[in-house]
């Protein structure tokens, strides 16, 4: 069974940093690209970043370029999102989602940016 479990969310002040993690199991992690998608409270889905299986291809949405960094450790079956210079508008549930098809999603981790 495919499982994706996010962690690392919490309350952070504007300008602060957080590192999200996504632990994958139930599939060959190193064979799949991975995504981060977020959902602000009461709002729709927003894709924010993609990393290919071997980390050679990385994409970001414009609103997070230069502030967020996606990475992965295939030996640990883990995906990461380093978030710096956080803003109030980054407040959202952050989901990791598998592959170029974005088929399986984790349960999400809530990031709240507030003073």
Partner 1 sequence: QSVLTQPPSASGTPGQRVTISCSGSSSNIETNTVNWYHQLPGTPPKLLIYSNNERPSGVPDRFSGSKSGTSASLAISGLQSEDEADYYCAAWDDSLNGWVFGGGTKLTVL
50 touches 35 (CB < 8 A) = yes
Minimum distance between the CB of residue 41 and partner 1, rounded to whole angstroms?
11
109 binds partner 1 (CB under 8 A): no
For 1-115, where are the E strands, in sequence order? 3-7, 10-12, 18-25, 34-39, 45-51, 58-60, 68-73, 78-83, 92-98, 109-113
41 touches 91 (CB < 8 A) = yes
- Tokens 């996606």: give the residue: 70
Give CA–CA dist 25/39, Å, rounded: 23
47 binds partner 1 (CB under 8 A): yes
In the complex with partner 1, the residue whose CB is nearer, 43 or 75, is 43
Residue 64, helix vs strand vs coil: helix
Minimum distance between the CB of residue 78 and partner 1, rounded to whole angstroms?
18
27 binds partner 1 (CB under 8 A): no
Binding mask 59-78 for partner 1 (x = CB under 8 A): xxx-----------------
41 binds partner 1 (CB under 8 A): no
In the complex with partner 1, the residue whose CB is nearer, 16 or 102, is 102
Q: Which residues bind partner 1 (CB under 8 A)?
A: 35, 37, 44-47, 50, 59-61, 95, 100-108
């Amino acid at each position: 069974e495919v499982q994706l479990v996010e962690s690392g969310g919490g309350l952070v002040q504007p300008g602060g940093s957080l590192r999200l993690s996504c632990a994958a199991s139930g599939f060959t992690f190193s064979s799949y690209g991975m995504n981060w998608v977020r959902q602000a409270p009461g709002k729709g889905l927003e894709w924010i970043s993609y990393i290919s299986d071997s980390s050679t291809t990385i994409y970001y949405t414009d609103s997070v370029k230069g502030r967020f960094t996606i990475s992965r450790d295939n030996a640990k079956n883990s995906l990461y999102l380093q978030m710096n210079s956080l803003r109030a508008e980054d407040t959202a549930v952050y989901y990791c989602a598998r592959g170029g098809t974005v088929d399986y999603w984790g349960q999400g981790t809530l990031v709240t940016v507030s003073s």
